[in-house]
Amino acid sequence: MRTTKSFPLDNPEKFKKELFAWSQEFDEIAWLDSNNYQQENSNFEAILAVQAFTALKTDYHGAFDQLQEYQETTKDWIFGYLSYDLKNDVERLNSKNFDGLRFPDLYFFQPQKIFQVKADSVEFHYLRMVDDEMDEDFAEILDLEERGERKEERLRNQEILPRISKEEYLVKINKMLSHIQWGDIYEANFCQEFYAENCQIQPSVVFSKLNEISGPPFATFLKLEQHYLLCASPERYLKKTGSKILSQPIKGTARRAENKEEDLQISEALAKDPKEISENVMIVDLVRNDLSKIAKKGSVQVEELCKVYSFKQVHQLISTISAQLENGIPAVEILRATFPMGSMTGAPKISAMKIIEELEETKRGLYSGAVGYFTPNGDFDFNVVIRSILYNAEDRYLSFSVGGAITAKSNPEKEYEECLLKAKAMHDALSK
């Protein structure tokens, strides 16, 4: 179905920039960049998919069934996203909060052209209908002059508004703490939105700035018609390689410091912080439970527990849980059984999602969903959509959300400060 051709690269980093710039002419773009981050454990440094041949776009009703049919019928690479509100397809839940972005709940496409950038080469994977364009496209990318980036007026911080005030946030956190004290939940992820209306940005420029600021292992630029995702995620949701399933939830955050000694002290303190560790361990238990639904008995194991990983702006506690897939489980069923990811919901999961819906002011949509791809043989890799800017170019509505895990030990003021820390990269990418 696809023709593959490899081209050597003298300067992969330069080629990546040229390839990303070249891609902007297409209506459908999925760009996934690992930023050479070792923890990503990928077979390529970056992957680009452009120009839909077929596509699936739907709301949450029967979404996973439709995706399974599309994936199994296509038997090809497909790229796309699962929005958080697919929870309503998995459980008897609803989403009635305000939605300024109006993204479809699920969107996948089969690209005509795929590019895998590796250490010293790039592989083109083209559908046969366009494989005569490989050499011409490679030459065009290499000859691409630095495209002049239009100097869009930057958003000023005062144009980015909080959906709720700090005072309202503190009230809501205290309500969530009451739910914990009553025994309804023992952890939940509470998020708040920052937004701008009637704004215009150049998405590729803002994404490049955001990626430069953060340098995460699961950076993603997604363009699907008028809908854009500019994502600097450090978190993997789920990866399938053959019969092995891998999940790497993040819970636990601390700031970076410019002074090396102080930065090391902050990292070491995070590794020992009982509140942050308890957050992480609760989600690890939830992930183990989710994976056990589709795993061979006794195969679920914790490979790493609460290990500190350092990114440009924050230190994070990451755990790695793996499992062996039970025979006969379809690829999409693995996602259905584990979605939404525990790190963005809480525990018990269904109770947490109900309370989240009650207390949050906006529909999450693609935020805290997942972006990734399926390979022709049914393997997949998906990130968690956090540290991300979402933009509807037609409505000129821009949004980013941040949140954190609330437990019995949470201090509302400190939780608010953590939100502002997580929001800093998005603010900087939009206003500097």
Burial of 93-107, coded b for 16+ CB within 10 Å and e otherwise, reads eebebeebbebbbbb
* Listed residue (100, 91, 29) closest to 60, CA to CA: 91
| C-alpha dihedral sign at 323, 326, 331, 337 | negative
**Which pLDDT band, with edges at 50, 70 and 90, does 37 fall under?**
confident
159 pLDDT more than 50: yes
153 pLDDT more than 60? no
What integer pLDDT is reported at residue 64 of this predicted model? 98
CA 419 – CA 404 distance, rounded (Å): 7
If one looks up domain 2-431 in CATH, what number appears? 3.60.120.10
Residue whose C-alpha is closest to residue 190's, from 426, 416, 423, 424? 416
> What does the pLDDT look like over 115-141, one tens digit per residue?
999 989 999 999 999 999 999 999 999
pLDDT at 204: 96
Q: What's the pLDDT score for residue 151?
A: 52
CA 431 to chain centre: 22
pLDDT per residue as tens digits for the range 166-215: 999 999 999 999 999 999 999 999 999 999 999 999 999 999 999 999 99
Residue 148, pLDDT score? 47
Q: What's the CA gap between 65 and 198, in Å, rounded?
A: 36
**How far apart, in whole angstroms, are the C-alpha atoms of residue 22 and residue 213?**
22
Structure tokens at 28: 């459908």
Taking the C-alpha atoms of residue 253 and residue 245, their distance in angstroms, rounded to an integer, is 25
- The domains of the chain are located at 2-431
The pLDDT of residue 251 is above 80: yes
Cα separation, 367 vs 207, whole angstroms: 16
Position 41 pLDDT exceeds 90: no
What are 286-338's pLDDT values in tens digits? 999 999 999 999 999 999 999 999 998 899 999 999 999 999 999 999 999 99
Mean pLDDT value across residues 238-255 = 95
| Reported pTM | 0.95
Cα–Cα distances in Å, from 250 out to 9, 275, 282, 304?
A: 34, 14, 11, 12
The structure tokens listed for 258 are 């410019």
In this predicted structure, the answer to whether residue 259 has a pLDDT above a threshold of 90 is: yes
Q: Is the pLDDT of residue 146 over 70?
A: no
d(CA 347, CA 333): 21
| Helix or strand holding residue 137 (H, E) | helix 134-142
Task: Provide the 3-class DSSP secondary structure of residue 83.
Answer: coil
pLDDT (average), residues 246-271: 95
pLDDT at 152 over 90: no
Three-class SS of residue 356?
Answer: helix
What does the mean pLDDT of the chain come to? 94
Q: Do residues 82 and 144 lie in contact, with contact meaning Cβ atoms separated by under 8 Å?
A: no
Percent of the chain with pLDDT over 90: 92
Region 26-46: mean pLDDT is: 84
CA 223 – CA 50 distance, rounded (Å)? 9
Examine the pLDDT at 357 and tell me if it is beyond 80: yes
Name which of 425, 408, 389, 407 is nearest 255 in CA terms: 425
Confidence at residue 156, expressed as pLDDT on a 0 to 100 scale: 65
CA distance 389 to 124: 29
Residues designated as active site: 235, 251
Q: In this predicted model, what pLDDT tens digit does every residue of 58-78 receive, in sequence order?
A: 999 999 999 999 999 999 999
Q: What is the pLDDT at residue 188?
A: 95
